[in-house]
Amino acid sequence: MSKAYRGVLKARISKLYGGDVTVEKARRLKSRPDATPRDKQLANWFINMQTNRPPTKKKKPDPKVGTGKKPKGSDRRLYTDENPKDTVSIKFATVADARKTIAKVMNINKPYARKIQILTVLEQRAEVMGKMQQASLARAAKKKLKAANEKSSPAKQVKGGGTKKVCLPKDKIASMSKSERAKVTRAKSKAAKGGKYKRSSESFVKGARKKGATLRDWFEKEDWRQVGDPSKKCGED
């Protein structure tokens, strides 16, 4: 039906104004004093079709060469076009080939992220070719590489993490047994080694502050001390 409409509209526009159909000519047509309901219908249809089209998505530009990034739809081949001098050949036709490639990648002098990239290519290509054993070897190598990287990297700490001090009001510390104080300090020390800010909820102390206590009470009335050494105030080293 739309083709028939366009044909009729084109003939009408061509007769009145000449040339191709445009939005401006369609508006002029429907504004004519002698415009028929059919003229207005065709003109409105054409105007709506032209002005309500979804916006064309802009294609993302290719990232800078050498970054190892590739946008969707790019014709660049990741890991090969980025830097020819940095290309690492991979073979996986046989299990022995895959093992040799993995051994080469694990021992090559390249950053951790680059090694993971190469092993990922090996894994994906092997899966596509139906060589599942080779793909499995690549996954295992990636897992081993990640574990070694995490072990060699320092623990990621959140703000405030790593401190071993536990502080409570002096009166509360005095009411606790030696084993209770030791439990709290051990939990905090364990959390600190992992770079965590908070200790385990199992070691939380109930009734540390009086009900309804305010921030002013914290500073003026409550004498906060270190559980491990009550002779020291909370802020002391």
pLDDT, tens digit (0-9, with 9 covering 90-100), for 178-194:
888 888 888 877 777 66
Look up residue 5 and give its two tokens.
């409409």
- The yes-or-no verdict on residue 220 having pLDDT over 90 is no
If one counts the domains in the chain, the total is 3
Q: Spell out the residues 6+ positions from residue 199 whose beta carbon is closer than 8 angstroms to its own.
A: 166, 184, 187, 188, 190, 191
147 and 101 within one domain: yes
Any idea of the CA torsion for 173, 177, 182, 184, to the nearest 10 degrees? -50
Q: Is residue 74 part of a domain?
A: no
To the nearest 10 degrees (0 to 180), the angle between helices 112-128 and 132-152 is 160
Around Cβ 139, how many Cβ atoms within 10 Å? 16
3-state secondary structure of 48: helix
d(CA 137, CA 5): 62
214 and 172 within one domain: yes
Structural domain boundaries, residue 104 = 88-152
Q: Is residue 58 part of a domain?
A: no
221 and 173 within one domain: yes
176 and 146 within one domain: no
pTM assigned to the model = 0.37
Q: Is residue 207 part of a domain?
A: yes
Residue of 7, 37, 2, 1 lying closest to 20 (CA atoms) = 7
pLDDT, one tens digit per residue, over 104-130 is 999 988 888 888 988 998 999 899 888
